[in-house]
Amino acid sequence: MKRAIIVHGWASHPKDGWFPWLKNELEKLGYEVLVPKMPAPLIPIMKKWVGHLSKIVGPVDQDTIFIGHSIGCQAIIRYLETLDTPIRGAIFVAGFFKLEGLESVAEEKIAEAWTKTPIDLEKVKRIMNKSVAIFSDNDRFVPLEINRKAFEEKLSSEIIVDHGMKHYSGNQGIRDVPSVLVALKKLPA
């Protein structure tokens, strides 16, 4: 069975923004969809998020895809690093290797753990087979050119740039992200 795991971002939850829309769209395409509530989303701690995915995802295979938003993309990348079984692919929405515009020292400290802890990127590339990274041209947190280049170079991701989607957050009024369905078609069948 085709499976999709959608990982929300920082200060978010499974029913926020575009996640219900995407879950519905994927189910129409025959996917079994898991949208887990990540632990302490206001203070996302890497070890807890990756550990949570390890507990709830279960076995993965070539019919498994991961879709992440923001820090959820980092959680996916770091979770994939722990696997030995390849998956079909991953879609990263507003993913980052560099963040800007954080509002406090506490937020910067949280983000630093995610952006500075080394990752075996070669292993992640082998596990995920293919990835697509989706960015907005006006995201105040995820600088487009820096992160576009990082995803291209570090993960060989194909890039999609949307216009005017900000940080793809529910609190910014984003209720659907059609480019995720475009990205899905770019993953191997």
Residue extents of the structural domains in the chain: 3-186
Is the pTM higher than 0.85? The answer reads yes
Q: By percentage, how much of the chain surpasses pLDDT 90?
A: 99
Alpha-carbon distances of 70 from 8, 28, 114, 141, rounded to whole Å: 8, 25, 11, 9
Q: 3-186: which CATH topology?
A: Rossmann fold (3.40.50)
Q: What mean pLDDT do residues 113-118 have?
A: 96
Work out the pLDDT band at 47, boundaries 50, 70, 90: very high
Dihedral of the alpha carbons of 112, 5, 10, 133, in degrees to the nearest 10? 60
Q: CA 104 to CA 80: how far, in whole Å?
A: 30
pLDDT digits (tens, 9 = 90+) for 68-80: 999 999 999 999 9
For 61, counting Cβ atoms within 10 Å of its Cβ (0-12 exposed, 13-18 middle, 19+ buried), the class is: exposed
pLDDT digits (tens, 9 = 90+) for 78-111: 999 999 999 999 999 999 999 999 999 999 999 9
* Predicted local distance difference test score (pLDDT) of residue 189: 83
